[in-house]
């Protein structure tokens, strides 16, 4: 069964802290994605990776960076958290073949105070 896990379901951090969100998939997928979800805005793509050590900016990369050292793991880093980064963060993975459907983790609700 397809599985994407995220390191935390809920996280509370202070303004200015460095924040790491981790995502692991067990499907040997090449592609991995980080989105943020805000009410009324749907899902917005932050970064994605199509291979180990490869990454591309999505629609809203400002204030974020990513790391992919191993195929199964994709990390999202908030270098200096700000209150406007309070959101739900969703990780997904997909294969570059067939229907390209993405499989999602349960999400991390991050609150920055």
Partner 1 sequence: GEDVEQSLFLSVREGDSSVINCTYTDSSSTYLYWYKQEPGAGLQLLTYIFSNMDMKQDQRLTVLLNKKDKHLSLRIADTQTGDSAIYFCAASGPDSSYKLIFGSGTRLLVRP
The site for partner 1 (CB under 8 A) is made up of 4, 31, 35, 40-43, 45, 48, 50, 58, 90, 92, 94, 96, 99-107
Residue 100, token pair as written in the block: 């390209």
Give the span between the Cα atoms of 89 and 74, in whole angstroms. Answer: 13
* Closest distance to partner 1 from the beta carbon of 42 (Å): 4
* Closest distance to partner 1 from the beta carbon of 94 (Å): 6
Nearer to partner 1, 7 or 104 (CB): 104
Nearer to partner 1, 75 or 102 (CB): 102
- For 62-86, b/e burial (b = at least 16 CB within 10 A) is eebebbbeeebebbbebeebeeebb
């Amino acid at each position: 069964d397809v599985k994407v896990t995220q390191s935390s379901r809920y996280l509370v951090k202070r303004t200015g802290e460095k924040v790491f969100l981790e995502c692991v998939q067990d499907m040997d997928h090449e592609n991995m994605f980080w989105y943020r979800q805000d009410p009324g805005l749907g899902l917005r793509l932050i970064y994605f990776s199509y291979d180990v050590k490869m990454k591309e900016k999505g629609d809203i990369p400002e204030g974020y960076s990513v790391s992919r050292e191993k195929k199964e793991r994709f990390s999202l880093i908030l270098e200096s958290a700000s209150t406007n980064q309070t959101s739900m963060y969703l990780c997904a993975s997909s294969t570059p073949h067939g229907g390209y459907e993405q499989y999602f983790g349960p999400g991390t609700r991050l609150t920055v105070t």
